[in-house]
Structure 1
Amino acid sequence: MSTLGSVLTLACDDEMFALPVERVQEILDLRPITRLPNAPPHLLGMIDVRGSGVAVADLRAMLGMAPTADTEMSRIVVLWVQTEGRRTVVSFRADRVIEVTALDNDDLEELPVAGLFNWRDRMIAGIGRRHGAIVTVLDMDRIFAGLAPELSVA
């Protein structure tokens, strides 16, 4: 069990996710994304963020969810991750950002079903609750570590 402070909550479909707010650099409205030739499906392309090229991943694709059309609520979350011993700025597109908040309890629960189904839970830091509803807390370092070769930006 680990402890978590403030989180950014976001959603894809009706599923609620969270990540530590201290990782978030900024939240952007959708903007044009420059596609990259032969990019894997989870890599949407690149955007310019204050003069730096930042890779944009598709959170839905990374979580194994079906694609959907963007809406006026879709956002790009720019954050930093620690991969291969260095801090890298990356971003992902989410269906919507909900709020910066605290979970009902700072202690995260471990994923109880991981060992039962031989399921790879590398993306999940733990389970929390917000107003009694389950919130999946994402481990952004591990999510992007698996994508590091495709998202490598100097």
Structure 2
Amino acid sequence: MAKSLRRKLRQISRTGTLSAEERMRHILDERTQRLAARRNGETVSASETLRVLACKAGREHFGIPIEAVAEILPFQACLPVPDGPAALVGLLGRNGQLVSVIDLSAALGMAPSSEEGGRHLIILRRSSPRIALRVDRAEGVETVTPISQEDGRSFRNEAVIGYAEFGSDVADQERILSLLDMDRLLRPFLPSLPVSPASGV
């Protein structure tokens, strides 16, 4: 593992985010080293990759295990829940069932995005209670390569279980996302969420 990548992971763990300039410098360094390795015949096996739904919340990117996702919808107005958790946006009716909508940024302890347009709902594949995550943008299914953390330090949030590199943007610059564990993310909210009388997937 390249030294620049190890420094970057330590900094993400400490601060939660890098400045745009720092992120760009680290990404370009890492990309150069990776391309050099490929020229030397090194490859990444399929067993070292994961399939996730890449999404954006605030200024960061996150990966949700694809098997945890049931559906993606444009954001819809929700019925507010008085005295609910701060991250609970409200309730949505879907196929005769109540769906609790949780803002991903707020659930991770970040400030909710101030952008009003372009938001998506990620309906999770679970029955009781039904839950959707509000994100700024669902970017699509990606095959990502996990990045190991050398020193075993804890991540900045319990729901973040690792980091990965994914896809290429318009400028062909690879990006880093945080891998999420849905059980850890949702655990604090489950006792306070309403459950529909009828169950289903």
Relative to 1, partners in 2 of residues 1:135 and 1:112: Cα closer, same or farther, differing over 3 Å? farther
Question: Is 1:114 equivalent to 2:131 in the alignment?
Answer: no
Task: Kindly state the Cα deviation for residue 120 of structure 1 after the two structures are TM-superposed.
Answer: 5.8
The answer to whether the Cα contact below 8 Å between 2:61 and 2:176 also exists between their aligned partners in 1 is yes
Aligned residues: 144
Give the root-mean-square deviation of aligned CA atoms. Answer: 2.5
1:41 alignment counterpart: 86
The answer to whether the Cα contact below 8 Å between 1:111 and 1:127 also exists between their aligned partners in 2 is no
Gaps of 5+ in 2: 1-46, 168-173, 197-201
Task: Kindly state the Cα deviation for residue 67 of structure 1 after the two structures are TM-superposed.
Answer: 2.5
Tell me the TM-score normalized by structure 1: 0.80
Higher helix share: 2
The answer to whether the Cα contact below 8 Å between 1:7 and 1:101 also exists between their aligned partners in 2 is yes
The answer to whether the Cα contact below 8 Å between 2:119 and 2:134 also exists between their aligned partners in 1 is yes
129, 141, 161: which one pairs with 1:100? Answer: 141
Per-residue displacement from partner, 1:75-104 (whole Å, max 9, x unpaired)?
A: 1111035xxxx864311110111111101x
The answer to whether the Cα contact below 8 Å between 2:89 and 2:103 also exists between their aligned partners in 1 is yes
The separation in 1 between residues aligned to 2:101 and 2:68, in whole angstroms, is 16
The answer to whether the Cα contact below 8 Å between 1:10 and 1:17 also exists between their aligned partners in 2 is yes
The answer to whether the Cα contact below 8 Å between 1:43 and 1:150 also exists between their aligned partners in 2 is no
Relative to 1, partners in 2 of residues 1:50 and 1:3: Cα closer, same or farther, differing over 3 Å? farther
If you compute each CA radius of gyration, which structure gives the higher value, 1 or 2? 2
1:90 alignment counterpart: 131
The separation in 1 between residues aligned to 2:96 and 2:48, in whole angstroms, is 35
Q: Which amino acid aligns with 2:158?
A: R
Percent sequence identity is 29
Higher relative contact order (CA 8 A, sep 6+): 1
